[in-house]
Amino acid sequence: MISSCYVFVVDEYEPRICGKYTIQDGVGYFVYGQSWLSRKDAYPLDPINYPLIDTTFQSPAQHGIIGVLSDSAPDSWGRLVQVAYHQQQPANEVEWLLVGSGRGAGCLAFSSSRNKIKPFGTPPDFSEVATFIQIADTIEAGIPLDLSNHPEEWARLLEYGSSMGGAKPKIVVSHEGKEWIAKLNRKTDTIDVVKIEFATRQLAVSVGITPPAMQLHDINGHSVLLIERFDRDALGRRHYISVHSLLNAGRIREDHSKTTYSYGQVADLSRRMCADPRQIAPEIYRRMVFNALIGNTDDHARNHGFLKNRENNDYLLAPTFDISPQPHSSHVHSLGLGDEGRIAKHANLISQAKRFLLTKEQAIAEIDRQIILLANWRAVYAQHNVRELDIRMLEQSFLLVE
């Protein structure tokens, strides 16, 4: 078992070692390297929980997980792929980071050597997604993978098909000179989730929210959603940190949803991390209202994040992603919405307007504005060829709009 690894920053510059991560007796430890601390261009990987100081940080999380590092690691789908692919599974969080090094979210890479990282490969071409669909179907069916007939091709697809977070089958691909995430439906999905997510993007744009660029494709009867990676640009990789990591919540009690595990807390964080919180905090409110109105209750903290500003050490709100109504929505959200916790209703949405740097009147106006703009949601989904049966299954999700 490997108990430690070195952490590298790989952004627009050459890879630079910035720290060391160790797990000992189930506890995680992280320390910044002296070479990183002495650099003029150094920055904290997590400005809230791991400031740029010369000390040994200890993780409060289970299994010794360091939040900002785990943002770059395989998540539930990625780990399922690795279990199907490798006979010997990673034994701890250090080994999971080494398995997915350089292919996950953000700009961090991991190595057992302090001197170098493994060279980054080029993601598979979009044309190879058809083969990956076959692989994903095999994995979901619980059938052992047989790589004997095409070991190199499948191994590469499995590497890039295990690198990103989330529960949906997905793979990082090259397309039109950029990196995209190709997202698939699960075999158990009762509705065409990825087609609905593509149509929901149009609803988000209509209320002033800008998700990443997306394309919807049909590959042999399978809906495939391409999502442009926002942590990559012309200069290279960008540092990303999820709200999950920033909140660093550990065990979450229900009452936390009224205070510290909530959209309001995300807005509070923006005042500490962003140069212009008077623009960012209301944007967080806009996203909260949108998720509430469309019944997107899968709005957990890993589905929100911040990107480091290349110009300085402040942060920008990352584009919104994974926004889609949940069929038969309970309207009980993952993150808290207000004084009444996770329940989506108008009074709760306006109850903590001040945390978003809004007056009560401004908060009400934002809700009313979005309700008007979302009133045609059925027509938007129909225009994007969402099945009538699927639209009917989403009617409960939009109850607050009716």
C-alpha distances (whole Å) from 216 to each of 179, 188, 318, 383 are 15, 20, 22, 13
Residues 215 and 353 occupy one common structural domain:
no
Tell me, yes or no, whether 120 lies in a domain: no
Residues 271 and 361 occupy one common structural domain:
yes
Tell me, yes or no, whether 316 lies in a domain: yes
Residues 389 and 350 occupy one common structural domain:
yes
pTM: 0.93
Tell me, yes or no, whether 116 lies in a domain: no
Alpha-carbon dihedral angle through residues 22, 24, 29, 32, given to the nearest 10 degrees = -40
Residue with tokens 């044309």: 127
d(CA 38, CA 345): 50
10-residue mean pLDDT series, the chain (402 residues): 89 90 91 96 94 92 84 76 70 82 87 88 91 86 72 76 74 94 90 96 97 96 95 93 87 76 95 94 98 96 94 92 91 95 96 98 98 98 96 95 88
Tell me, yes or no, whether 346 lies in a domain: yes
- AA letter at 318: A
Residues 392 and 353 occupy one common structural domain:
yes
Q: Return the pLDDT at 10.
A: 93
**Where does a domain end: 111, 135, 167?**
111
CATH number of residue 171's parent domain:
3.30.200.120
Domain hosting residue 203, numbered range = 126-228
Q: Return the pLDDT at 250.
A: 65
Radius of gyration of the chain (CA): 21
Q: Return the pLDDT at 399.
A: 93
**Where does a domain end: 174, 205, 228?**
228
C-alpha distances (whole Å) from 16 to each of 19, 76, 110, 371, 390 are 9, 29, 11, 48, 48
Residues 87 and 172 occupy one common structural domain:
no
Q: Return the pLDDT at 320.
A: 95
Residues 6+ apart with CB under 8 A from 20: 4, 5, 6, 7, 30, 31, 33, 114
d(CA 138, CA 368): 46
Residues 222 and 305 occupy one common structural domain:
no
Nearest to 327 by CA among 222, 191, 218: 191
**Overall domain count for the chain:** 3
CATH number of residue 307's parent domain:
1.10.1070.20
Q: Return the pLDDT at 86.
A: 65
Residues 248 and 189 occupy one common structural domain:
no
Tell me, yes or no, whether 357 lies in a domain: yes
* DSSP track, 336-373: B-BTTBTB--HHHHHTTGGGGT--HHHHHHHHHHHHHH
CB of 168 within 8 A of CB of 77? yes
d(CA 202, CA 131): 29
Q: Return the pLDDT at 150.
A: 66
d(CA 123, CA 236): 15
C-alpha distances (whole Å) from 28 to each of 31, 61, 93, 243 are 10, 8, 9, 20
Tell me, yes or no, whether 217 lies in a domain: yes
Residues 273 and 194 occupy one common structural domain:
no
Q: Return the pLDDT at 144.
A: 74
Residues 247 and 377 occupy one common structural domain:
yes
Tell me, yes or no, whether 83 lies in a domain: yes
Residues 250 and 381 occupy one common structural domain:
yes
Residues 242 and 386 occupy one common structural domain:
yes
Tell me, yes or no, whether 393 lies in a domain: yes
Q: Return the pLDDT at 246.
A: 94
Count of CB atoms situated within 10 Å of the CB of 368:
11
**Where does a domain end: 228, 256, 280?**
228
Q: Which two tokens stand for residue 213?
A: 């660029």
- AA letter at 150: H
Residues 177 and 307 occupy one common structural domain:
no
Q: Which two tokens stand for residue 194?
A: 């990825």
